[in-house]
A and B are shown apart, each in its own frame.
Chain A
């Protein structure tokens, strides 16, 4: 049906070996949407990869190995990704990301966070006893940009 968003989702263990699977999910979703150009697709994969890497390396630190749920929903104007984990909360929207002007040496420690902010158009984060959810939005090229969270 025209205009209906299509959703794809996978759950994988919070291990580095799962990163390729999360990127493959994004590829599969983007394959079904001709409006995604190569750069938009790559930006999505990069944001997801960086966020999941952070969860794997830090989110479950000193905890039993957990899982990560990645879902992507592609609508007419944007792709909306939700990354859910059950580890320690980490709020990328509250941490000031490094800027391009800081230079490569200065941003090296926060390079992953830098790329999440550079690659996603909107970022939101909610943490509750039920889990931590990172929401990423990437607009399709030339879409009208109303706030997709409302």
Chain B
């Protein structure tokens, strides 16, 4: 699993490539902990290249979202594959986390 980040109009886009499971979820958590320490507050998590995510991954996303909100920031999700999007919906995560069908839509939501 790899994590790549880049800036777009003042918003940080973090792209995960691969699977987020109980083994790799800690790596995602650590990556975001570093970003928060560096002062990043508006972050989009691009899920388009995530081929599998388990509950461990969702828990990390929830934790990152909470930590960002406590510091006045926000995490938004983009382009989840249909099975991952289904997990987000049936667990109710989409009631507290904004999830967009595309990266462009997620980027646009921070500009409005």
Contact = CB atoms under 8 A, between A and B. Distances in A.
Interface residues of B, number: 21
Nearest to B18: A20
A20 B83 CA distance: 17
A118 B22 contact: no
A11 B82 CA distance: 30
Contacts of A42: 52, 83
A46 B87 CA distance: 10
A5 interface: no
Interface of B: 19, 21-23, 52, 54-56, 58-59, 62, 82-83, 86-87, 90-93, 95-96
Interface in A104-141: 104-105, 107-108, 111-112, 114-115, 118
Contacts of A46: 52, 54, 83, 87
Contacts of B93: 104
Contact of B92 (A23, A53, A100, A115): A100
A61 interface: no
A112 B23 contact: no
B98 to A, nearest CB: 13
Interface of A: 16-17, 19-20, 23, 38-39, 42-43, 45-46, 49-50, 53, 56-57, 100, 103-105, 107-108, 111-112, 114-115, 118
A68 to B, nearest CB: 13
A108 B93 CA distance: 10
Contacts of B95: 103-104
A23 B24 CA distance: 14
* Main DSSP-derived SS at the A contact region: helix
B23 A45 contact: no
A105 B59 CA distance: 10
Nearest to B95: A104
B91 A20 contact: no
A111 B90 contact: no
B78 to A, nearest CB: 19
Nearest to B87: A115
B23 A16 contact: yes
Q: Which residue, of A19, A39, A105, A118, has the highest number of chain B Cβ atoms within 10 A? A: A19
